Amino acid sequence: MPLDRSRYFDNAATTPLDPRVVAEMLPYLEEDFGNANSIHEWGRRAREGVELARERVAKLFGGSPDEIFFTSGATEANNWILSSFKSVAVSPFEHSSVWEAGIAKGFDVLDNEGYRLYGPRQSTDLLSVMVVCNESGAILELPEVGETTPSRVHRDATQALGKVPLNLADMDYASASAHKLYGPKGIGCLYVRDARPLPPMLFGGEQESGMRGGTLNVPAIVGFGAACAIALDQFEEDRAHAQELRQAFVAKLQGTSDWKSNCHDNNSPFILCLSFLGVQGETLVVEMDAAGFAISSGSACSSHSSEPSHFLESLGLPSRWSRGTVRIGFGRFNTLDQAERLATSLVSSVESLRALAK
Ligand code: PMP
**Model confidence pLDDT, tens digit, residues 233-287:** 999 999 999 999 999 999 999 989 999 999 988 999 999 999 999 999 999 999 9
| CA–CA dist 256, 46 (Å, integer) | 55
Distance from the alpha carbon of residue 31 to the mean position of ligand 1, in angstroms: 31
The residues, ordered by sequence, that sit 6+ positions from 348 with a Cβ below 8 Å of its Cβ are none
pLDDT at residue 315, rounded to an integer = 78
What pLDDT, on a 0 to 100 scale, did the predictor assign at position 120?
60
- Considering only CA atoms, give the Rg of the chain: 21
Q: For the chain, what is the mean pLDDT?
A: 92
Burial label for 64, CB within 10 Å (0-12, 13-18, 19+), is: middle
With a 6 Å cutoff on the Cβ, whether 136 touches ligand 1 is: no
Q: What does the angle CA 102 – CA 106 – CA 108 come to, to the nearest 5 degrees?
A: 65
Residue 248: its H or E element? helix 235-251
**153 CA to centre of ligand 1 in angstroms:** 18
C-beta 128 within 6 A of ligand 1: no
pLDDT at position 300, please? 43
Ligand 1 pocket test target in 72, 81, 158, 185 with most atoms within 8 Å of CB: 158
Distance 94 CA to ligand 1 centre (A): 10
> What's the 311 CA to ligand 1 centre distance in angstroms?
15
Distance CA 205, CA 315 (A): 44
Q: What CA–CA distances, in Å, run from 173 to 22, 69, 259, 348?
A: 29, 11, 37, 44
Confidence (pLDDT) at 295: 98
CA distance 24 to 36: 17
The mean per-residue pLDDT over the stretch 290-313 comes to 72
Task: Tell me what pLDDT residue 122 has.
Answer: 65
pLDDT at 351 over 60: yes
Bridge partners (DSSP) listed for residue 153? 127
> In the Cβ-directed half-sphere of 243, how many Cα atoms lie within 13 Å?
11
Any ligand 1 atom below 6 A from CB of 177: yes
Kindly report which listed range (140-149, 184-193, 334-343) carries the lowest average pLDDT score: 140-149
CA distance linking residue 336 with residue 245, whole number of Å: 5
Catalytic residue, from 228, 263, 273, 301: name it: 301
Residue 147's pLDDT band (cuts 50, 70, 90): low
Residue 162 CA to residue 121 CA, distance in Å, equals 33
**CA 353, CA 189: separation in Å to the nearest integer?**
43
Cα(179) to ligand 1 centroid in Å equals 9
**Ligand 1 geometric centre to CA of 95 (Å):** 7
- Please compute the mean of the pLDDT values over residues 41-65 and round it to a whole number: 98
Q: In what order do the strands lie in the sheet with 271-276?
A: 259-261, 271-276, 325-329
DSSP codes, 24-65: HHHHHHTT----TT--SHHHHHHHHHHHHHHHHHHHHHTS-G
Ligand 1 contact, 308 CB (< 6 A): no
91 Cβ closer than 6 Å to some ligand 1 atom: no
pLDDT value of position 121: 60
Q: Is the CB of 253 under 6 A from ligand 1?
A: no
> pLDDT tens across 291-300, in order?
999 999 964 4
Q: What local confidence, expressed as pLDDT, does residue 115 receive?
A: 77
Question: Which of residues 141 and 28 earns the better pLDDT score?
Answer: 28
Ligand 1 atom showing the smallest separation from residue 132 Cα: 3
Point out which residues pair with 132 in neighbouring strands.
139
Is the pLDDT reported for residue 346 higher than 90? yes
95 lines ligand 1 (CB under 6 A): yes
Q: How many residues does the structure list for the chain? A: 358
- Check if the beta carbon of residue 12 is closer than 8 Å to that of residue 303: no
Candidate from 70, 175, 180 with most ligand 1 atoms within 8 A of CB, to mutate: 180
Question: Could you tell me which residue, 347 or 204, shows the higher pLDDT?
Answer: 347
pLDDT tens per residue across span 68-92: 999 999 999 999 999 999 989 898 8
Q: Please indicate whether residue 301 is annotated as part of the active site.
A: yes
Task: Tell whether the model's pLDDT for residue 208 goes beyond 60.
Answer: yes
Asked if the model's pLDDT at residue 154 lies above 90, the reply is yes
Confidence at residue 312, expressed as pLDDT on a 0 to 100 scale: 78
pLDDT at 114: 76
pLDDT above 70 covers a percentage of the chain that reads: 94
Tens digit of each residue's pLDDT (9 = 90 or more) over 92-142: 889 999 999 999 998 878 887 777 777 666 678 899 999 999 999 999 988
